[in-house]
Amino acid sequence: MVSVPRLVIAAPASGSGKTTVATGLMAAFAARGLAVSPHKVGPDYIDPGYHSLATGRPGRNLDAYMCGTDLVAPLFAHGSAGCDLAVVEGVMGLYDGAGIQAVHEVLGQGGGGRRAGQGELASTAQVAKLLKAPVVLVVDASSQSRSVAALVHGFASWDPEVRIGGVILNKVASDRHEALLRDALDESGLPVLGVIRRAPQVATPSRHLGLVPVAERQSDAVDAVRAMGERVRAGCDLDALLALARTAPALADEPWAPAYAAGPGAEKPVVAVAGGAAFTFAYAEHAELLTAAGAEVVTFDPLRDEKLPTGTAGLVIGGGFPEVYAPELSANEPLRRAVTELALSGAPVAAECAGLLYLARELDGKPMCGVLDAEARMSERLTLGYRQAVAVSDSPLAAAGTRMRGHEFHRTVLEPAAGTTPAWGMHQPERRVEGYVQRGVHASYLHTHWAASPEVARRFVEHCRAHPAR
């Protein structure tokens, strides 16, 4: 049984202030001495970094598309174990699910192809129902007064299974504006749990894929999270919010666990995992799965470290922003040579998105590792969306025929997009092959969540164990 008090922070639409309010609540409750468990709906890698700063705990994602609905509550239970409160930041608008990404694709902003009929799948509303959690609706009130009541009434009555427990009004202009909003909402029956005045935005700079990650602006990010906490603490009724969180009923789901018995006396191969400012995209469960499968996980920074960790038997290079750091990554020739030598030796290498670009011959004209005979460059086109994929051939990551769900999110192009032995055959939104499998390398744009397929981590570690360490 899971009885952690919890809140889902949602909004009618993107840009309403969910991240500021959710992160601010995490920081404000943590400052009270509560152990706060931070969560994010969907495949976002960046917001959880700010959540982690606010709470001192790993930010964790809850993705009903990539992991399946059955894993949402167990993953939540795993992350929130021992905590006094869990705060879950939603994604997009409350009822927007996987189907909204078809809009980007149809408009020519994504990977192409048409997809519809996803319904509530992967929406904040679906996750709130799976967690039986009350929802707090953050409303941008900057351009409305009485209409706010109609908006809130519509969201509260749309799905009777979604329990909206209150409203936080954001970007309120004045005392008079607040009074008009409160009078209107009195008729809705939903309490106003906070009012945040219109003010200069907290310094959280963005670029082509969203907020700048915490790892790239550590001290400034700390200041930003502190400012969010102060703004929320000043404008919100924390006692009422905590009382609402405590109305969430117990969940019967058992916590997810990355347990896997490697066998007595099994060798613990070193798996090097790229980190630092250029490679910030990673799910916390991946390292946990690798460790449970018997690996010794060691993080290194391709911007600073000139060699791989001692005894490296396998390499994981996740997502991030190598395009921002292409000159620095290129200048670190000793590490590039070490990565190339490891890959050429046949050692297991798993590369996602940024990792794919790092293994290419060059990125925006800057030499990279040259493991793959491909060139990468920045593009004006955003590729965004959930994907269904099947492994085309055997690799240390997946056996041929393995089916997985994943996500693409990038503004770069790789030419050619696939090698002679591709990594994946995509089945949604359109049919195509993508990525590279060669020697022990599996490299692709596709982000996957290994908690949905723990055999991926087991297989990878077993291949590392069979390969001589370098």
Residues 281-307 pLDDT 10s: 999 999 999 999 999 999 999 999 999
* Band (174; pLDDT cuts 50, 70, 90): very high
Q: How far is CA 169 from the centre of its chain?
A: 26
Q: How far apart are CA 28 and CA 55, in angstroms?
A: 9
* Band (396; pLDDT cuts 50, 70, 90): very high
pLDDT value at residue 118: 63
Per cent of the chain over pLDDT 90 is 81
Instruction: For the chain, list the domains and their CATH numbers.
Output: 6-245 (3.40.50.300), 270-466 (3.40.50.880)
Residue 309 has pLDDT above 90, yes or no: yes
pLDDT value at residue 114: 35
Q: How far apart are CA 17 and CA 29, in angstroms?
A: 18
Residue 124's H or E segment, with its range, is helix 124-131
Per cent of the chain over pLDDT 70 is 90
Return the active site residues.
353
CA angle 264–266–267, rounded 5-degree value: 150
Residue 249 has pLDDT above 80, yes or no: yes
**Residue 458 CB neighbours (<10 A):** 18
Average pLDDT estimate for 196-205? 71
Write out pLDDT tens, residues 18-71.
999 999 999 999 999 999 999 999 998 889 999 999 999 999 999 999 999 999
pLDDT value at residue 206: 53
pLDDT value at residue 103: 41
Residue 105 has pLDDT above 80, yes or no: no
In this predicted model, which residue has the larger pLDDT, 191 or 199? 191
Q: What is the DSSP string of 153-210?
A: HHHHHH-TTS-EEEEEEEEE--HHHHHHHHHHHHTTT--EEEEEE--PPPS--EETTE
Residue 328 has pLDDT above 80, yes or no: yes
Residue 212 has pLDDT above 70, yes or no: no
**Residue 326 CB neighbours (<10 A):** 22
Average pLDDT estimate for 228-238? 97
Taking phi over 0 as left and psi of -120 to 50 as alpha, with beta for the rest, 320 belongs to left
pLDDT value at residue 115: 40
Residue 213 has pLDDT above 90, yes or no: no
In this predicted model, which residue has the larger pLDDT, 261 or 38? 38
Average pLDDT estimate for 419-435? 89
Annotate 423-439 with b (16+ C-beta within 10 A) or e (fewer): bbbbeebeeeebbbbbe
Token pair recorded at residue 252: 């019967």
Whether the Cβ atoms of residue 407 and residue 446 lie closer than 8 Å to each other: yes
Residue 110 has pLDDT above 90, yes or no: no
Tokens 């608008």 belong to residue: 93
Residue 327's H or E segment, with its range, is helix 326-331
Whether the Cβ atoms of residue 274 and residue 339 lie closer than 8 Å to each other: no
